[in-house]
Chains A and B, each alone.
Chain A
């Protein structure tokens, strides 16, 4: 159970992160605002409650890892990493600018706190399960959190990774599918039907939990349950794309459209 104080803290943090997301994408006039807003609560729960990590020592070997497999949603992870102190908040001003370490998609060699390069869809989960296998070989016990998009899981490679994690019994993998049912070209079940998702992952040998991806209590309690499993876990997190900004919620057009000045002002009022 989360106490009231912690719950409030997380809610405030998520709101701050959402403000940064909208600001970053507005300033850069480029980036993915909808999916980032939708994943903000999961990322907040991970970085401010669940994960063992040390912003002063980003390469600490015993840290939990986070792989943003839906790599286009960098605004959410950059906002969290900057706020945690991995790099100065001013760096966010340079998001998607030449010379900045904050590339459009995660670039692990340059950005402190980024654990893996992603960007083309499907590679993140494979890299994540490879890392998790590495930890097993070293007999280390940290967790590997991997956030996939629900459009992303249409990639065949995702299911290759699913089979691989099952083969090597990677119970240190805790994945999320950010299930917002929207992707670039519209409603996911129309673009390429993937339901029933839970049965798909279960048939690959994963333990599946389905949750409300905006409910901190549920996110955190489910992760605790996941840690007790002896197989890889996929948490299907039902979310709303654009969550927190009313006119972006559930609208596919905000997948990759940057907010103009007017949209930005309206969004910031709502996120106050």
Chain B
């Protein structure tokens, strides 16, 4: 299996966008080497702004640049954009619905060695509760590239969430990308696995295991958390026995709760959530943390069996 960084998809798209549109600017807060926006800086130094270690000013200043007609991509780690600069995301960007793109890397437990201070497991929840905010969590390198292009095309604030590590390349999610439109990447009639972000491959692996056990599992890849593709969710609720959600994020306030909210209002069905429990992470190797925190295909299968029982 091929592995590639999702943040590299972001960085590559930024350079492509830089060539297409001179209104595209990139900002960073002293983590350009880690977010990979230094690659944009190398090509377009005059359109790159390193704000130093000041995420709050960066996001509000990005709002100012948007007011002047630019399309700033403000880049930092997920935990800094949402927890450190949450007010600026809310009051400077989301409230006036400005055309600022917030591209964040180092999300989820797979940050690895830096530990809990840097593992952003709450950011989807913080971003999706902001009115006007579009929230996209791409599944692999190519989808990250496409999502970044799509974000640039739409007018309005977008939160783009990437990881630090390299993650499996999943050809099933390539091709077209439409914000707010989930991709059904595997047909199935017994149960539905809804994935977001880099755990999409774990969802597919789980579906294969379930098939071996005689169950037909559908896999829906929900790259956009907001606006949420309620149609795809309700179809799953109606056509299969239940839903397992899979995300590299807290089980609170992320994909799982979003899905549960939709089905409980419109078509109740069992929902099981795979994600980080209500706990902080710790240091470790990226891949071993995914095992330790129960974010692998066997964990998905276990939850599925609770429904299929």
Contacts and interface: CB of A to CB of B under 8 A. Distances in A.
Interface of A: 107-109, 115-120, 122-124, 126-135, 137-138, 156-157, 160-161, 163-164, 167-168
Interface stretch (B85-93, B123-131, B171-179, B208-216): B85-93
Interface majority SS on A: helix, strand, loop or mixed? helix
Contacts of B63: 116-117, 123, 126-127, 130
A157 B56 contact: yes
Contacts of A122: 56, 60
Contact of A119 (B49, B56, B62, B91): B91
B61 A129 contact: yes
Given A107-B96, A129-B64, A134 B70 contact: yes
A117 B61 contact: no
Contacts of B97: 109
Contacts of B61: 126-127, 129-130, 133, 161, 164
Interface in B95-120: 95-97
Contacts of A132: 64
B261 interface: no
A167 B95 CA distance: 28
Contacts of B69: 134, 138
B59 to A, nearest CB: 8
A185 B61 CA distance: 29
Mostly, the B contact residues are helix
B52 interface: yes
Interface in B1-58: 25, 49, 51-52, 54, 56-57
Interface of B: 25, 49, 51-52, 54, 56-57, 59-65, 67-70, 87-88, 91-92, 95-97
A108 B67 contact: yes
Contact of B60 (A107, A109, A127, A137): A127
Given A116-B64, A129-B61, A132-B64, A160 B54 contact: yes
Given A122-B56, A164-B57, A164-B61, A138 B92 contact: no
Most buried by A among B51, B59, B60, B65: B60
Given A109-B97, A133-B61, A163-B52, A123 B68 contact: no
Given A129-B64, A131-B67, A134-B65, A160 B91 contact: no
Contact of B56 (A116, A126, A167): A126
Contacts of A117: 63, 91-92, 95-96
A128 B64 contact: yes
B96 A126 contact: no
18 contacts: A116-B64, A117-B63, A123-B56, A123-B88, A124-B60, A126-B60, A127-B60, A130-B62, A131-B67, A132-B64, A133-B61, A133-B65, A134-B64, A134-B68, A135-B68, A157-B60, A160-B51, A163-B54
A161 B51 CA distance: 9
B67 A134 contact: yes
Nearest to A157: B56
Contacts of A131: 64-65, 67-68
A52 to B, nearest CB: 16
A234 to B, nearest CB: 16
B21 to A, nearest CB: 14
B57 A133 contact: no
Contacts of A128: 64
Which of A109, A124, A131, A168 has the largest count of B CB atoms less than 10 A from its CB? A131
A129 B65 CA distance: 9
Contacts of B64: 116, 126-134
